[in-house]
Chains A and B, each alone.
Chain A
Amino acid sequence: MRFADAARPELADPSSRRTRRQAATRARARQAEATAGLPDWERLREAGAAIRDRTLRDLGAHLEALEASVTEEGGRVHWARDAAEARRIISRLLPGDTEAGLVRSDVTDEIGLEGGNAGPHTRAAVVGARFLVAETGTLVVTDPGESLTFPGTVVVVAGIEDTVPTWSDLEVLLQLLPRSEAGRRMHPAVSTRTGDLQLVLLDNGRTRALADETGRAALRCIHCSACRDVCPVYERTGARPYGPGRAGPIGAVLTPQLGGVEASLGASLPFASTLCGACADVCPVKIDIPGLLVHLRGEVVESRRRRPVPTPELLLMRGLAWSMGDERRYEQTLVRRARWAGLLARDGRIRRLPGLLGKWTDARDLPVPPRQSFRAWWRRRP
């Protein structure tokens, strides 16, 4: 479903809008407080971005190092091409009626895992990883980590990009994450486990995203949710219109990157932003989300150009570009437009426009363009 259609019922629900507005206000204030008190916050962000870029550039080598360390510590790495394969691997690792607790993460959501907390009866745990340190094969989570002390099977699920080469890299990311995620200076608890891990590493479109040199930067994401907290669009619509993947600005980038821009959700998500830039300002690893959205909009339009019948929008945009390509054509367009506008105007405003532009006048007037454009005025100036 297109984002705009899925957003409509959410916009019409006053109580969830109030809840989100209040949550956004609190989160923004907390985040601002946690980062303002840190004199080298900008340098920390630079460092975080550099670590993530370096990791992604050589991801193949870091993944090999990770696999070697995990294996050395008595664990095993399972490679999953997509969500279905990841689920198959997990059910093979936890056969039959094994009751397993779940520590959820964006990646466990991505592959559609559901389940409760680890209780006294559970004999296994499925843990969504926060990070994986390649040099030692260590799993890192940002909670007290009860599920990590299980004597039984611990199945860990992570995206291939959740790898961190070294502990000193992790140190930087663990300073960024709590401030951006919850407006806290540090996580109340960070737990690790090295050894005896069944590690499921998920691709699910990531290698494709990595191959795009511009788009790759989106995989810097360390899953903090700061962009979502500041996003004025997310504040109005909530998570649902973003589909089954990540919500908020980074979701509008990642979902089309991982799943392609052909389906209606993937094609509409890059446009689900005003490009206001609030997300880029708070991103702890400096992902230029508006820039990536514009990049993806280009991909959407390119894929539409290949259709045999051009869309009305394509015709409109091409026509505009053609008229703007020459000042005489352009001025003719201005004159013609002013004439049409004069016919459509009532009491000095335009209240209804046909076609695509009717979406504007559904709720907004348009001023009547004056008969004389700026350039015509300039020519007649004494």
Chain B
Amino acid sequence: MRIAVFITCWGDALFPGTGKAMVRLLERLGHEVTFEPAQTCCGQMHWTTGYRPEAISLARRFAEVFRDHELIVTPSASCAATVRTAYPRMDPALAGLRVYELTELLVDILGVTDVGASYPHRVTYHPTCHSVRALGLGDRPLRLLRAVRGLELAGLPAADECCGFGGAFAIKNADTSVAMVADKIAHIHETGADIVCATDDSCLAHIGGALSRLRSGVRAVHIAEILASEEGAGERAAAGTGGVPGRIAERMTRRVRRSEAR
């Protein structure tokens, strides 16, 4: 299938590893991935912070950029939810864009739960608010994770409770935001997991940022990275993505894969 990726502004700038993993995964599954270079931001940040005219013009721009695409995928439940639920409120003409969150695309549209991934770690999954309440992803991400080789899935207590990110909330109400993530982290520790994963890099930046500040030893990883991991790639994932070792390893894997294809 031909799938257009929406990388999100947050992902493009801060977490390009997530977008790369998503591309790798979809190509491995035999799909053609396209990237519209004119894409920037869906407008969520402006919309939820109260900057309506700015948000609406970014939304119109988004609709224009993706106008000719049947199938759009993004590694963010909150960006997908913005396009699907906030756009029609901004302007009824913006309704109907087919933007899917990655796990939703995999399970509902592409019909796969076993994506051939291998990830030998103890992992817990935090269902982000927009993935649960705005998109209703249910157990789709968990079904995908359960099919990953070597992955030991640990259930997260009080999983459905917000991590405290909330966009502008993390800044405007920083103290309450941190109080919330402190409780989330306590629950993550209860699971004994080495990795916490989710469908949104925004929430993960918040959880992961607090985990990192505390030197907790637990890492926050986007679910796309886990689903894209293959046998022997575990070390690379553990070394961190996007850094220099990650990039070298990535190039090497690609070279190996190409020679295998020959």
A95 at the interface (CB under 8 A from B): no
Interface pair B175/A365, CB less than 8 Å apart: no
Bound state CA distance, A300 and B35, in angstroms? Answer: 36
Q: Please report the total number of A residues contacting B with Cβ < 8 Å.
A: 65
Chain B residues near A357: list those with CB within 8 A: 171
Interface pair A327/B40, CB less than 8 Å apart: yes
Bound state CA distance, A127 and B111, in angstroms? Answer: 60
Q: How far is the CB of B128 from chain A (nearest CB, A)?
A: 9
A370 at the interface (CB under 8 A from B): yes
Cβ-closest chain A residue relative to B53: A321
A298 at the interface (CB under 8 A from B): yes
Query: Which of B13, B38, B52, B175 sits near A327, CB closer than 8 Å?
Result: B38
Interface pair A278/B162, CB less than 8 Å apart: yes
Q: Which residues of chain B have a CB within 8 Å of any CB of chain A?
A: 7, 9, 11-17, 19-20, 23, 35, 37-41, 45-52, 54, 57-58, 61, 86, 89, 129-130, 133-134, 160-162, 164-181, 205-206, 208-210, 212-213, 240, 242-243, 247, 254
Interface pair B208/A321, CB less than 8 Å apart: no
Interface pair B171/A273, CB less than 8 Å apart: no
Q: How far is the CB of A82 from chain B (nearest CB, A)?
A: 27
Interface residues of A in 269-299 (CB under 8 A from B): 270-278, 280-281, 291, 294, 296-299
Interface of A is mostly: helix
Interface pair A365/B51, CB less than 8 Å apart: no
Given contacts A274-B180, A334-B12, 19 further A-B contacts (CB under 8 A): A3-B173, A8-B175, A11-B175, A233-B173, A272-B173, A273-B169, A275-B129, A275-B167, A297-B49, A317-B46, A317-B51, A321-B46, A330-B40, A334-B13, A359-B172, A363-B213, A364-B178, A367-B14, A367-B205
Interface pair A351/B213, CB less than 8 Å apart: yes
Interface pair B57/A321, CB less than 8 Å apart: yes
Q: How far is the CB of A126 from chain B (nearest CB, A)?
A: 36
Bound state CA distance, A367 and B23, in angstroms? Answer: 22
Among A7, A236, A301, A349: residue with most chain B CB under 10 A = A236
Bound state CA distance, A334 and B179, in angstroms? Answer: 31
Bound state CA distance, A356 and B174, in angstroms? Answer: 11
Cβ-closest chain A residue relative to B220: A367
Q: How far is the CB of B253 from chain A (nearest CB, A)?
A: 13
Bound state CA distance, A206 and B98, in angstroms? Answer: 39
25 A-B pairs (CB sep. < 8 Å): A232-B161, A236-B180, A271-B173, A272-B173, A277-B134, A291-B89, A294-B48, A297-B48, A298-B50, A300-B50, A302-B52, A324-B40, A324-B58, A327-B37, A349-B212, A357-B171, A359-B172, A360-B171, A360-B174, A363-B213, A365-B213, A367-B15, A367-B209, A369-B13, A379-B37
Interface pair B133/A4, CB less than 8 Å apart: no
Interface pair A369/B14, CB less than 8 Å apart: yes
Interface pair A370/B171, CB less than 8 Å apart: no
Q: How far is the CB of A19 from chain B (nearest CB, A)?
A: 15
Cβ-closest chain A residue relative to B213: A365
